[in-house]
Amino acid sequence: MRTLAIETSQKTGTLALFENERLLNEIELAAGQRTAASLAVGLRKLLIQNTLQAGDLDLVAVASGPGSFTGLRVGVTAAKTLAYAAGAEVIGVNTLEVIAAALPDEGVPAWAVVNAQRQQVFAARFVRRGAELETLVATHIADVDQWLGQLAAGDLVTGPMLAQLADRLPEGVRPVAVEFWPPRAASVGRLAVAQFAAGRRDDIWRLVPQYFRMSAAEEKRLGVES
């Protein structure tokens, strides 16, 4: 089974290709380009490098949120379009799960956080046991100060938001190594392949980005206070 994984929830996107559970290749999308443009070029490059065509794919996996509204829209739309054209299955994976799947410490609970803007974070807590992830606290939005205030000595934390918060962590709270902070397509693919093997299938027509909040335009239209 060949799986293409897409991660575009952050500023720098990645793509990965799997043969069954084996990672064949992972590439970073070109920086400085619009996500849609860099994704199209990256997809073509990855398939050519592995002498494949879109029709050779059996599964397309994508980080479905939370994250950048634009990045998520582009990534999910590309995944659905590619899966439809290839006659492949599609699976969307939670971005915080993607981050937690790369945790170096097995069996140790850890918080994963990404920037939600407006002095807020998207946060969730997981424990990794081998290839399995257990959700201890589901994905939610929290004020930065509120989230920091609930951390205790011995807590493990990860995620790209630590680039802004690492120097504000309470004493005794341990950030994982910086290379594990960003969500990567390789982790998207590993999670999706395992979920596919367990019987999960997403409906290509119902799969949508999981923003976990309204956009500023939606809030303005509905008169919601920020």
CATH code, 170: 3.30.420.40
159 and 194 housed in the same domain:
no
225 pLDDT more than 70: no
125 and 84 housed in the same domain:
no
Q: pLDDT-based confidence at 30, cuts 50/70/90?
A: confident
pLDDT tens, 43-72? 999 999 999 999 999 999 999 999 999 999
- Cross-strand bridge partners of residue 15: 6, 27
221 pLDDT more than 70: no
What are φ and ψ of residue 35, in 5° steps? Answer: -55, -45
3-state DSSP assignment of residue 113? strand
Helix extents (H) in the chain:
35-49, 69-86, 95-101, 144-149, 162-165, 185-197, 216-222
170 and 190 housed in the same domain:
no
pLDDT of residue 37: 85
* Percent of the chain predicted with pLDDT > 70: 94
86 and 144 housed in the same domain:
no
What are φ and ψ of residue 135, in 5° steps? Answer: -85, 120
Separation of alpha carbons 210 and 220, rounded Å: 20
pLDDT of residue 220: 54
- Cross-strand bridge partners of residue 157: 111, 175
94 pLDDT more than 90: yes
User: What's the number of domains the chain is made of?
Assistant: 2
172 and 216 housed in the same domain:
no
40 and 62 housed in the same domain:
yes
87 and 107 housed in the same domain:
no
155 and 188 housed in the same domain:
no
pLDDT of residue 33: 75
Containing structural domain, residue 62:
2-95+183-222
Tokens representing 181 are 């902070």
28 and 61 housed in the same domain:
yes
3-state DSSP assignment of residue 193? helix
Cβ atoms 123, 96 nearer than 8 A: yes
107 and 166 housed in the same domain:
yes
Tokens representing 118 are 């407006």
* Percent of the chain predicted with pLDDT > 90: 85
Q: pLDDT-based confidence at 165, cuts 50/70/90?
A: very high
92 pLDDT more than 80: yes
Distances from the Cα of 54 to the Cαs of 18, 30, 57, 76, 192, in angstroms? 13, 21, 6, 16, 18
Cβ atoms 63, 182 nearer than 8 A: no
137 and 215 housed in the same domain:
no
Classify the C-alpha dihedral 5-56-45-21 as positive or negative.
Answer: positive
188 and 91 housed in the same domain:
yes
